[in-house]
Amino acid sequence: MTHAIEVRNVYRDFQQRSAMAGLRHKVRAVDGVTFSLPAGDVLGVVGESGCGKSTLARLIMGLLPPTSGEVLVDGRSLSGMDRRERARMIQPVFQDPYSSLNPRQCIRDIVGLPLAAQGDQPKARQADRVMEMLARVGISSEMAERMPGQLSGGQRQRVAIARALVLHPRIVVCDEPTSALDVSVQAQILNLLAELRRELGLTYLFISHNLAVVEHIATEVAVMYLGRIVEQAPVQELFRTPTHPYTKALLASVLTPDPALGIPDVGLGDAYPDPTNIPPGCRFHPRCPSALAKCATTMPDNIRKDGRLVECLLAVPA
């Protein structure tokens, strides 16, 4: 079966130049990630700063080449595609609606860019498709002549979604699409994304640090930590029965509006993850409340069981 996205053992390094002595740190932002995403699913990727989820998003979009490993879209290698073909397969929706639209272009041109870049349809037909898509995301036709500066955050994000969908791609990579929006607007945009997925049969890769949002929209969730996926499971299972200590800590840290409870102590201590300095053994062990002595020296294996994945020495394989 051909999956919509297949990521095989992908690594991505960055050279970080230190200002003074010219020392170069190698930062391994993505450290061997492998997963496949069936068509029509939504994979939510969660994790905190420095975990590599944004870099992973760009790798999957083809905006960055992997240092090693490969990305397959619909069974075909992403690096082998030319820019037009790739554009037809996979499109992004970014986090910041204020920087994801060119402030010097009108809405119509912004949404029409992917069509213009393909260059295989007459202008009139392109214009029609643009208006069609704008209507679908709830932007009235009179707004098509306006500039992004005249639109609100929520409206801009709708425009960004229209742009992403105008080529009818197979896959949409959403990188924190609601994080920069007002709380009242977030729900609207999420609902729009969910609706469009059903209508158009899309596959989403949904990056977010907001677990509530992910629970709402994802079918499967992968938890990233310092460049690797440490746990992956269908959404309800992950939230109900998390296995990896990091996942548990993450879920426990989310503050629900219950006045009877206080601020939880999730046992992570005061240390924080530093991608330039990945600990030996299990990368989570310095912060893990359940760490054993061997966690500092032994890399945990990937344990797959019942459609779930976890990378922890404490998880007992079947």
Site string for other proteins, 278-317 (x = CB under 8 A): ----------------------------------------
Binding flag, residue 214, other proteins (CB under 8 A)? no
**By CB under 8 A, residue 102 contacts other proteins:** yes
Does residue 140 belong to the site contacting other proteins (CB under 8 A)? Answer: no
The half-sphere exposure of 317 on its side-chain side, counting CA atoms within 13 A, is: 8
What is d(CA 13, CA 55) in angstroms, rounded to the nearest whole number?
Answer: 10
Is 24 one of the binding residues for other proteins (CB under 8 A)? no
Report the C-alpha gap between 7 and 3 in whole angstroms: 10
Minimum separation from the CB atom of position 192 to other proteins (A): 14
Interface size with other proteins, residues (CB under 8 A): 63
Count of C-beta atoms within a 10 Å radius of residue 296: 14
Pure H helices in 62-122: 83-89, 107-118
**Considering the rule CB under 8 A, would residue 20 count as an interface residue with other proteins?**
no
d(CA 279, CA 281): 7
Q: Which one of 13, 48, 70, 237 is in contact with other proteins (CB under 8 A)?
A: 48
Q: Which of 23, 183, 293, 318 binds other proteins (CB under 8 A)?
A: 183
When asked if residue 153 is in the footprint of other proteins (CB under 8 A), the reply is yes
Euclidean distance between CA atoms 70 and 52, whole angstroms: 16
Assess 62 for contact with other proteins (CB under 8 A).
Answer: yes
**φ, ψ for residue 169 (rounded to 5)?**
-70, 165
The total of other beta-carbon atoms located within 10 Å of residue 304's CB is: 12
Q: Does the footprint of other proteins cover residue 103 (CB under 8 A)?
A: yes
The yes or no reply on residue 63 touching other proteins (CB under 8 A) is: yes
Is residue 92 a contact residue for other proteins (CB under 8 A)? yes
What CA–CA distance (Å, rounded) separates 290 from 279?
Answer: 16
Among 4, 213, 268, 310, binds other proteins (CB under 8 A): 268
Which residue has tokens 């995301």? Answer: 137
Q: In the beta sheet, which residues pair with residue 206?
A: 44, 174
Site residues for other proteins per CB under 8 A: 48-50, 58, 61-63, 83-84, 86-88, 90-92, 94-96, 98-105, 113-114, 116-118, 152-153, 160, 163, 167, 180, 182-184, 187-188, 209, 211, 249-250, 253-259, 261-266, 268, 270-272
